[in-house]
Amino acid sequence: MNTNVSIQRGASITTGAPAVQISDLSRSIDLGALPGELERHAVQQGLAETPVPGVKMFRCDDPTPRSPCVYEPCVVFILQGAKRGYFGSQSFEYGAASFVVFAVPIPMEAEIITASADEPFLGLALTIDPALIADLQMRIDEEAMPPSRVAETIAISPVDEDMGDTLNRLVATFDDERDAKILGPMITREIFYRVLLGHQGTLLRAAAQRHSHYHRIGHLLKMIQDDCSVNYTTAEMARQVSMSKTSLHESFKSITAMTPLQYVKSIRLHRARLLMLSEGMSASAAAYQVGYASSSQFSREFKRLFGLPPRLDAQREAAGPVA
C-alpha cells in the first residue's frame, strides 16, 4: 500500500517513513518572473544543457504518464508545474518553489501532473560534485550545520528568499557566455552551500562521510553505475564495501528501496533503454552491452519494467520527449 504525500504551499508534512523527508513548506516563496526568465532559454521540451557547467534545464508542455526513471546525484529545482514521484511504498508530489536532493543514483517512477503549453513544467538540475561538497564541509563551521541524524534517500524543501535570490542570479548568467563561465560556477557553489546549511544538508554529508554505511552504499551504487555489465554476487558486493551480507542487504534496501540484485537489474534495463533511444542500438546489442546473456530474458524483464517490449517502447518514445 502506498503512502501518498502531497506537497502543498504552506504545509508541514512528514511521511512516516525514513526514505523521503519533506520539510515545512510554509517558507516557500513566490518566484515572480523567474519561471518566465527560464522559459526564454528552455525552448525545447526535455532536458537540455545550460551555459553553466553542471547545470541543466528542463521543460515539458504536457502532463506525462507514470514511468520508470533514474535520478543521478543532483539537486532539482521546480520553478513551475508539479510532478509526482514514487519511491518504494511512498508517493509524493513536488511543485513550484520546491527543490529535491538526490544524494545517490536512485531508480524510481515519476509523472508530470501539472503542465501546459501556456505554463510548462520548468526547472533546473544541478549535478552534485562530491569534491565541491567536501570542500564546503571543511569550510563551514560544524555548529552552523544542522545536527546529523539517520539520512534519508530523498529530501524535499521549499525555496526560501535566499535560495530564490541565488536562483535568479544563476538564470541571469544564461544571457552572457562570459558570465555563465565565470560567475555561474560561483553561484552554483553558493547554492550547494545553502543546501548544506539546511536540513537536507545531512543527506549530502552522510553521502560524503567515508566510513558511514550511507557512503559505502553510495560507493557501491557508483561502481554499479560505472559498469553495470559486471555480474557481482551479493557476497562480492559486500566484500567491496567491507560489510556483511546481512548488513549490506539492510543498508542497501533502506537507501534504494531495492535489494542489491534488483538495483543492478533496474540500472541495466535503464542503461539499455538509453542506448536504444539515444544511440539507435538494437535490443540484442544493448542487452549484451549491459550484461545480459539472453535476449529473451532481457525482453521479458524490459517489458515488465517499462510496460512494452523494447521495439514498441522505442516507437512510443520517438513520438514525444522522454518524461
Residue 243 belongs to a domain with what CATH number?
Answer: 1.10.10.60
DSSP 262-310: HHHHHHHHHHHHHHHHHH---HHHHHHHTT-S-HHHHHHHHHHHHSS-H
Answer whether residue 310 is part of any domain. yes
Asked if residue 83 has pLDDT above 80, the reply is yes
Q: Smallest Cα–Cα separation from 272: which of 264, 281, 263?
A: 281
Q: Which amino acid is at 191?
A: I
What is the rounded average pLDDT for all residues in the chain?
86
Residues 144 and 251 in one domain: no
Count CB-CB contacts under 10 A for residue 251: 19
Domain shared by 228 and 309, yes or no: yes
Question: Which range of residues forms the domain containing residue 118?
Answer: 3-208
Do 129 and 264 reside in the same domain of the chain?
A: no
Task: Identify any residues that bridge with 46 across adjacent strands, giving them in sequence order.
Answer: 59
Q: Are residues 176 and 234 in the same domain?
A: no
pTM confidence score: 0.83
Asked if the structure places residue 323 within a domain, the reply is: no
Verify that 44 and 133 share a domain, yes or no.
Answer: yes
pLDDT at 311: 85
Please say which residue of 158, 188, 208 terminates a domain.
208
Question: In the predicted model, what is the mean pLDDT of residues 200-219?
Answer: 79
Residue 322 is predicted with a pLDDT of: 44
- Looking at the structure, do residues 230 and 102 belong to the same domain, yes or no? no
203's grid cell: 543527506
92 and 41, same domain (yes or no): yes
pLDDT digits (tens, 9 = 90+) for 85-127: 998 888 888 899 999 999 888 899 999 999 999 999 999 999 9
Give the residue, 82 or 315, on which the prediction is more confident. Answer: 82
pLDDT tens readout for residues 14-56:
334 447 777 765 667 899 999 999 999 999 999 999 999 999 9
Give me the pLDDT at residue 204, please. 83
Same domain, 190 and 282: no
Q: Tell me the C-alpha distance between 122 and 117, whole Å.
A: 11
Residue 161: give its domain's CATH number.
2.60.120.280
Give tens-digit pLDDT for 55-79: 999 999 999 999 999 998 999 999 9
Burial class of 139 by CB neighbour count within 10 A (0 to 12, 13 to 18, 19+) = exposed
Q: Which residue has the higher pLDDT, 138 or 178?
A: 178
pLDDT in tens, 124-168: 999 999 889 888 988 887 655 555 555 568 889 999 999 999 999
Does 297 or 89 have the greater pLDDT score? Answer: 297
State how many domains the chain has: 2
Q: Which of 79, 98, 89 is nearest to 7 (CA)?
A: 98
pLDDT band with cut points at 50, 70 and 90 for residue 3:
very low
The answer on 178 and 313 residing in a single domain is no
DSSP line for 128-161 = --HHHHHHHHHHS-GGGSPPP----SEEEEE--H
The CA distances from residue 263 to 36, 105, 125, in Å, are 38, 10, 23
Give the integer Cα–Cα distance in Å for 90 and 88: 6
Q: Are residues 99 and 148 in the same domain?
A: yes
Q: How many angstroms separate the CA atoms of 98 and 69, rounded?
A: 20
Rounded Cα distance between 88 and 109, Å, is: 9
Q: Which of 208, 230, 250 is the last residue of a domain?
A: 208
**Average pLDDT score over residue span 292-321:** 84
- The residue among 187, 208, 229 that closes a domain is 208
